[in-house]
Copies of this chain bind each other. A is one copy, B any other.
Amino acid sequence: MGKEITSRTEDYSQWYNDLVKKADLAENSDVRGCMVIKPYGYSIWEKMQQALDKMFKDTGHVNAYFPLFVPKSMFEAEEKNAEGFAKECAIVTHYRLKTDPEKKGKLIVDPAAKLEEELVVRPTSEAIIWSTYKRWVQSYRDLPLLINQWANVVRWEMRTRLFLRTAEFLWQEGHTAHATKQEAIKETEQMLDVYAEFAETFMAMPVIKGIKSEGERFPGAVETYCIEAMMQDGKALQAGTSHFLGQNFADAFDVQFTNKEGKLEKVWGTSWGVSTRLIGALIMAHSDDDGLVIPPRLAPIHVVIVPIFRTEEELSKISETAERIASALRKQGYSVKFDNRDTHKPGFKFAEYELKGVPVRIAIGPRDLENGTVEVARRDTKEKQIMSIETVAASIPALLENIQNNIYQKALKFRESMMTPVDSFEDFKNVLDTKGGFVLAHWDGTPETEAAIKDATKATIRCIPLDAKPEAGVCVYSGKPSTKRVLFARAY
């Protein structure tokens, strides 16, 4: 195939890059830090969008669209948010190019078209949205606002990585406004649950729900909730965040409402988002040295049918059966590809669809037709079985469900094996260096200790798990008392 992939043990990072490129998911563009999401990669994103969008709507949210640009003075209004993103913002300063008088056919920025106020390309949309909510909210009757936006955002990252960290990325950002603190917290938690359910049910990727430490909190949030996943190399990946914003943005943009008693109150807010980064997580959670392993619920192609033939006549007979199976599967809502190209050998095709992570492959040759059977191979375990032509289409749904569950169980088992409680800093460092994964350790709760541990080990507090049990102990670093273990890991 000429599409050799570096193995995970040899170089995990190169394995990831190879997969992204060779499976045609994405590539670097000529624009620094910006990626091109190729059709196959984008079709995974479309599947993710459909599932998430339905979950958002089922929980009462609607979509809207807010401007790409944020005037600098608006961007500044919530100080912590502005400070958090100021260092990685793309800034529009001019609105026109003109012909270069010195070089024919070339253009230069027209100095006469300088903006009075610079525009920030949104790194996140709290500022522009809360400045709009000010106009939309007067009375308690206008609340809650439960709005989501699908959009592109720009954060000028210095070190980029396809899907995981790019200057421009695609995401959704929910921004809600509420009359009470309690309701806003409930919303924050509800959306965390939605993300966790999506990660586990669709991505087949187990996650740990928790709260970020102050140091890792979203700039402008009172509390940041997150879901954390474990990749195959033992590094953690933050797969989604849901922020309780308190009244910070209501303060910054003066968003108040008249309550039932006729008194003015400040509005409570939340925001929550997941991005194309999830495609990176999906790859790293499940794939192997032969290529992608995509859970059926997010697979752009569920079943590929590969004919094994020497002559046109053989192909024609096989095609009849293949089209019948394909049509029966399509009627059940599955995406099926019949690859009848005569320019490539079956072995080449087998490797190609393994690389692309198609969950089920059906091979049909002349002898199969005689026997009334087909060969069905599953991508996750590579197991093959012989099925009857008459029943194969009816058997596929259960097989796909089985594959979905198996991928999840495998990832769960791995994640469980990567949760290591430690009680000394020596062990802490040892586990990180030899095994990786999540380290459950006592921490004294101070940003200073958190920073010192990060400096010494590159591990950060991924979250304080929501289900952490109270347990008296002492901080692995400072020896000061602690009431529960938190989750440390090196992370993407």
Residues of A within 8 A of B (CB): 27, 29-31, 34-39, 42-43, 45-46, 62-72, 74-76, 79, 82, 86-99, 105-107, 109, 118-121, 128, 131-132, 135, 141, 147, 151-152, 154, 156, 168, 170, 343
Residues of B within 8 A of A36 (CB): 64-67, 132
Is there contact, CB below 8 Å, between B71 and A42?
Answer: no
The answer to whether A131 and B30 touch (CB under 8 A), given A67-B168, A90-B119, A168-B67, is: yes
Is there contact, CB below 8 Å, between A95 and B90?
Answer: yes
Is there contact, CB below 8 Å, between A109 and B96?
Answer: no
Since A36-B132, A37-B65, A69-B168 are in contact, a sample of 13 more A-B pairs with Cβ atoms closer than 8 Å, ordered by chain A residue number, is A30-B132, A36-B66, A39-B62, A42-B63, A45-B65, A46-B63, A72-B107, A75-B107, A76-B107, A79-B105, A91-B94, A93-B109, A152-B152
Is there contact, CB below 8 Å, between B95 and A91?
Answer: yes
Is there contact, CB below 8 Å, between B91 and A92?
Answer: yes
Q: Which 7 A-B pairs have the closest CB atoms?
A: A34-B67, A39-B62, A37-B65, A86-B97, A95-B156, A91-B94, A31-B67
Taking the closest CB of chain B, its distance from the CB of A101, in whole angstroms, is: 14
Is there contact, CB below 8 Å, between A107 and B90?
Answer: no
Residues of B within 8 A of A120 (CB): 97
Write the chain B residue with the least CB distance to A166. B67
Cα A185 to Cα B419 in complex, Å, equals: 60
Write the chain B residue with the least CB distance to A152. B68
Residues of B within 8 A of A66 (CB): 29, 36
Residues of B within 8 A of A90 (CB): 69, 92, 94-95, 119
Taking the closest CB of chain B, its distance from the CB of A75, in whole angstroms, is: 7
Taking the closest CB of chain B, its distance from the CB of A40, in whole angstroms, is: 8
Is there contact, CB below 8 Å, between B132 and A29?
Answer: yes
Which of B27, B31, B96, B97 is within 8 Å of A69, CB to CB? B31
Cα A99 to Cα B72 in complex, Å, equals: 12
Which of B35, B89, B106, B343 is within 8 Å of A97, CB to CB? B89
Cα A35 to Cα B265 in complex, Å, equals: 28
Residues of B within 8 A of A31 (CB): 67, 69-71, 119, 128
Cα A147 to Cα B37 in complex, Å, equals: 12
Write the chain B residue with the least CB distance to A63. B42
Is there contact, CB below 8 Å, between B93 and A91?
Answer: yes
Taking the closest CB of chain B, its distance from the CB of A278, in whole angstroms, is: 14
Is there contact, CB below 8 Å, between A67 and B35?
Answer: yes
Cα A87 to Cα B118 in complex, Å, equals: 18
Taking the closest CB of chain B, its distance from the CB of A204, in whole angstroms, is: 24
Cα A117 to Cα B248 in complex, Å, equals: 37
Write the chain B residue with the least CB distance to A71. B31
Cα A70 to Cα B62 in complex, Å, equals: 32
The answer to whether A39 and B67 touch (CB under 8 A), given A31-B119, A96-B87, A128-B31, is: no
Is there contact, CB below 8 Å, between B107 and A86?
Answer: yes
Residues of B within 8 A of A30 (CB): 71, 74, 128, 131-132
Is there contact, CB below 8 Å, between B156 and A96?
Answer: yes
Taking the closest CB of chain B, its distance from the CB of A109, in whole angstroms, is: 5
Is there contact, CB below 8 Å, between B62 and A42?
Answer: yes
Cα A35 to Cα B128 in complex, Å, equals: 11
Is there contact, CB below 8 Å, between B121 and A168?
Answer: no
Residues of B within 8 A of A64 (CB): 36-39, 42
Taking the closest CB of chain B, its distance from the CB of A82, in whole angstroms, is: 6
The answer to whether A96 and B86 touch (CB under 8 A), given A63-B42, A68-B34, is: yes
Which of B68, B75, B88 is within 8 Å of A168, CB to CB? B68
Is there contact, CB below 8 Å, between A68 and B154?
Answer: yes
Is there contact, CB below 8 Å, between A95 and B105?
Answer: no
